[in-house]
Amino acid sequence: MAAIAAVAIAAPAASGAPGTGDPAAGDPAAGARALVARYAAALPHADLAVGPGVDRQCFAQQVQIDPMATPDGTPTNPAWIERDQLDQYCATLRLRDQFDSPAYGFGDAVVGDGLYLDQAQQQVANGPGHVHGGFTTLVPGSQGADPFRALATWTARTGGRVQAISFTSSDGAVLRGHLFLPPKSLPMPEGGYPGVVITEGSVQGFENLYYWAAEGLAQYGYEVMTYDVQGQGDSDLLPTSCSPGNCPGVPYQQNYNFYQGTEDALNFFDSTKNPGFSRLDRKDLGIAGHSLGASAVSWVGQCDNRVKTIVAWDDLVPVSIAQCAKNVTIPKRYRATRLHAPALATSNDYEFNVQPATTVPNPHGSANSGGLDGDAGYRSLAKAGLDTEIIAIRNGTHLTYTYVPYLLPSNELGERFAFYYTLAWFDEYLRGGRDPYTPQPAFGRLTSRSGYDASADVNSKGVVSIGAGTYDAARAAADPADPMAGNVPYRIKGIPIIDSLSFYYYSQFHLRNPATHRLATCVDMVARCPAKAPPTP
């Protein structure tokens, strides 16, 4: 999967798209404001651009529209083009919610600067023999991510527990991360908590960009580990020994760091060196990853027989067991001999650049749209008879899963949609389909075409999502002593599921119903699972 690149985003001037132009220099918030304004200016009706608060028009009633494409694939239907323009605008609105929120601005400055200082102090403490990885460690505030999910905030508000961890990789580099444990108010099940290891995406993919998943899963009774791969964040840049002819993982951002990093992290997690080992149910281990991390978990999850299930955030890739040894080194006793792990994939309407669909996209995805691999990973597992599902998030981008302040565009609710499916998937394949903190069985959540329940918003113990969202001036005024009080975390309960799915790319499932043991399939959830998939969702 494509690396998470620190690129300047400029809207292309084509087919009614916003014109190009440089963001305001020297002010990230102003640059984000200018970017959103350019997409808003391209909307066919000025009243489409509304705010504040979540724009429900971005998840308005989903209807099929014939693009009336020419022989070369160019859409000509004005209604289809108008919907495409709205989709582009909606794909930038998390940026709007950031720059419109004084609470977010304060949190980003204070939390981000504090983390940058902590990082610098840790680098000094670790010494010159353990140089931390990546150029993004030099950017002040680069670890800020979602300030409302700072570790101290999460532990104070939810009772969740977190502990810093470090372990040595296969090549001797020290990798660092965190272990998340459920609040003590959630009783530990007999046998321990099911466990999940999360592998980040590349470049600015610090582990804390995935706290939305780690914290959220821990609040629902999972033991979760995040970490920085070699060459990123707080992990070492260099292996123990390095020569011009043999320097594993250098330069960073290569497959080795992610593929072998995932296996090394799993080995640590599944060992007595893990401070949460005594609480871990080793029979129920899952892995999740984003971007290059998604490719890594696709391989490790099938090649290591300890992994019971996989979640790949943009994208799941096809795997050949015969090629496992060429991609990752796995202890002999854990080497799988067949594809075995059910896998969930998510994808999005856009990668980094939000741009018009000048031709009707291939609904299966391709190298130029809908992810580098589209639904190829999904189709390979379905063909092999494994349970699998792919969810294409409407107006989502590759950065839906990483809360990068001000720089890169994303929609408002995509992270919540991703968490809903991630939780349901792990509940199904690590918990036997039942989560004691949300009432609906996992299979129903995974296959529903009605509305989202509250599972991504609040569990039955009253522990709610604490992340960033929109701004409420009245809430801020009611608590003037807290400069972050005006934040209203995103919620998705009641939003129709079909309306949240892409109208460019298929959302599909191939799942065994645990109640009837019969296969349930859907070739296009937006079209309400017809016998044959339509040419466009």
Each domain of the chain, given as residue ranges in start order, spans 95-522
Integer angstrom CA distances of residue 177 from 124, 198, 209, 228, 267: 17, 10, 12, 6, 14
Write the DSSP symbol of residue 60.
Answer: P
- What pLDDT shows up at residue 249? 77
Does this model's pTM top 0.75? My answer is yes
Q: How far apart are CA 487 and CA 323, in angstroms?
A: 48
How far is the C-alpha of 430 from the C-alpha of 445, rounded, in Å?
15
- Burial class (CB within 10 angstroms; exposed 0-12, middle 13-18, buried 19+) of 32: buried
Give the pLDDT score at 70.
96
Task: Give Cα separations from 379 to 37, 317, 351, 507 (angstroms).
Answer: 39, 10, 21, 12
Contact 185, 461 (CB under 8 A): yes
Residues whose CB is less than 8 angstroms from the CB of residue 524 and which lie 6 or more positions away in sequence, other chains included = 363, 506, 507, 508, 530, 533, 534, 537
pLDDT of residue 405: 85
Determine the pLDDT at residue 4. 39
Any idea which fold 95-522 has? Rossmann fold (3.40.50)
Question: Residue 15 in contact with residue 356, Cβ under 8 Å?
Answer: yes
DSSP 246: B
Residue 200 half-sphere exposure, CB side, CA atoms within 13 Å?
A: 31
Contact between 519 and 511 under an 8 Å Cβ cutoff? The reply is yes
User: Distances from the Cα of 74 to the Cαs of 14, 78, 361, in angstroms?
Assistant: 13, 12, 10
Helix axes 78-90, 28-41, angle to 10 degrees: 170
Q: What letter represents residue 121's amino acid?
A: Q
- C-alpha span between 277 and 225 (Å, rounded): 12
Q: Are 66 and 77 in contact (CB under 8 A)?
A: yes
Q: What is the C-alpha to C-alpha distance for residues 370 and 295, in angstroms, rounded to an integer?
A: 15
Mean pLDDT, the chain cut into blocks of 10 residues (537 residues total):
37 36 58 90 69 75 87 95 93 94 90 66 63 64 80 92 97 95 92 97 84 96 96 86 74 86 98 98 98 96 98 95 98 98 96 91 71 81 97 94 88 96 98 90 96 91 87 95 94 94 95 96 96 89
272 Cβ neighbours under 8 A, 6+ residues apart: none
Q: What per-residue string of b and e applies to 180-213 under the rule 16 or more CB within 10 Å gives b?
A: bbbeeebeeeeebbbbbbbbbbbbbbbbbbbbbb
Q: Residue 203 has what pLDDT?
A: 73
pLDDT on residue 11: 38
Dist CA 340 CA 137 (whole Å):
38
State residue 520's pLDDT score. 97
